[in-house]
Copies of this chain bind each other. A is one copy, B any other.
Amino acid sequence: MIKVGIVGGTGYTGVELLRLLAQHPEVELRAITSRGEAGTAVADVFPNLRGRVSLKFTDPAKSSLPDCDVVFFATPSGIAMQQAPALIEAGVRVIDLAADFRIRDVALWEKWYGMPHASPALVAEAVYGLPEVNRDKIRGAHLVANPGCYPTAVQLGLLPLLEAGCVDTAHLIADAKSGVSGAGRKTETQLLFAEASDNFKAYGVAGHRHLPEIRQELSMHAGQDVGLTFVPHLTPLVRGMHATLYARVTREVDFQALFEQRYADEPFVDVLPPGSHPETRSVRAANTCRIAVHRPQGGDTLVILSVIDNLVKGAAGQAVQNMNLMFGCDECAGLSQIPVSP
């Protein structure tokens, strides 16, 4: 059994990790920390876990994290970079669901996240945890930087095109829509039901923190710097993310076949038949990304539709998939739930 610890389990990625790990056949949950809720039973905060998770939140200072095989950080950005080094030193493998180790260029990270980086040396060691790209590196990683939700949906939708070099990489457009849980369990006015319900808006058009992460990875896939316009939107969904991606064709190939072949062996990427429109609920509560490839009116602009559950393939599910790879489990272990629909 893999001994697992979680730092910061009171947010949505935390409770989702718990839901998935408590059903994982090879995991033993050992510790979950929260400064604010230390001593409280996890199931008192998250009643869906009653009878399934018997742990209490523990104070980070008194926790048994160093005895774990792997520790997940489900914390705001800026925490893992402080605590991960000691754990890694102690032989614990770390999966960070926040952004601390996603950006290779430390100065760039510091600019977007507004703080000095506490362990720049570890950034170089970290493996970016998108299994569809880095499966082998993840297997051997001590530190995995779990991708953001927008970066996951956008990359999986553009990857085959960039690898094949068949679109204009200077003018990519990602129009992305996220459910409200993607913003976390923060008590901000704009996240209130009475503000976010029956309402739709873009946000962060001038620059969203996921932009440099997406750009970095897309540039790597393309083999050159890409130009990307990224517009995120807040949608009245609890869970779900839909990326609508626009790319101009520069070289003709069979685009449907390109996607099908690229993802033929991927257990969590499903390329839909031509003409499809994936719905976010078709992946609700599951680790699947579904993709459809369109070329409207036979023009020169491709439209790729990519949907994930932001809390699963966009966060906790992908983290468990990475853990499976790191510990030699079946990659799908604990991740085989069928999406919940309706």
Which has the most chain B C-beta neighbours within 10 Å: A15, A177, A272? A177
**In this assembly, does A282 line the interface, its C-beta being within 8 Å of a C-beta of chain B?**
yes
A180-B193, A303-B231 in contact; A248/B171 too (CB < 8 A)?
A: yes
When the two chains form their complex, are residues A197 and B193 in contact, meaning their CB atoms are under 8 A apart? yes
When the two chains form their complex, are residues B341 and A277 in contact, meaning their CB atoms are under 8 A apart? no
When the two chains form their complex, are residues B191 and A192 in contact, meaning their CB atoms are under 8 A apart? yes
When the two chains form their complex, are residues B338 and A197 in contact, meaning their CB atoms are under 8 A apart? no
Binary contact readout A182-200 vs B (1 if CB under 8 angstroms, 0 otherwise): 0001011101111111111
**In this assembly, does A240 line the interface, its C-beta being within 8 Å of a C-beta of chain B?**
yes
Nearest-neighbour CB distance to chain B for A13, whole angstroms, equals: 11
Chain A, 198-240, CB within 8 A of any chain B CB: 198-203, 205-207, 227, 229-231, 233, 235-240
A206 to B274, CA, bound (A): 10
Nearest-neighbour CB distance to chain B for A307, whole angstroms, equals: 8
Chain A, 235-282, CB within 8 A of any chain B CB: 235-240, 242, 244, 246, 248, 270, 272, 275, 277-282
When the two chains form their complex, are residues B205 and A240 in contact, meaning their CB atoms are under 8 A apart? no
**In this assembly, does A305 line the interface, its C-beta being within 8 Å of a C-beta of chain B?**
yes
When the two chains form their complex, are residues B229 and A303 in contact, meaning their CB atoms are under 8 A apart? yes
9-residue interface stretch from A68-76, A113-121, A292-300: A292-300
When the two chains form their complex, are residues A207 and B270 in contact, meaning their CB atoms are under 8 A apart? no
When the two chains form their complex, are residues A296 and B229 in contact, meaning their CB atoms are under 8 A apart? yes
Chain A, 10-26, CB within 8 A of any chain B CB: 12, 15, 19, 22-23
**In this assembly, does A31 line the interface, its C-beta being within 8 Å of a C-beta of chain B?**
no
CB neighbours of A12 from chain B (8 A): 194, 342
A193-B238, A301-B173 in contact; A202/B284 too (CB < 8 A)?
A: no
A residues at B contact (CB < 8 Å):
12, 15, 19, 22-23, 46-52, 171, 173, 175, 177, 179-181, 185, 187-189, 191-203, 205-207, 227, 229-231, 233, 235-240, 242, 244, 246, 248, 270, 272, 275, 277-286, 290, 292, 294, 296-297, 299-301, 303, 305, 307, 336-342
Smallest CB-CB A-B distances: 8 pairs? A187-B187, A48-B339, A47-B282, A48-B341, A193-B196, A201-B279, A175-B175, A180-B193
Beyond A50-B270, A233-B244, A236-B237, 10 extra complex contacts between A and B, CB < 8 Å: A12-B194, A15-B342, A23-B337, A197-B198, A198-B281, A201-B307, A206-B296, A229-B296, A230-B296, A340-B340
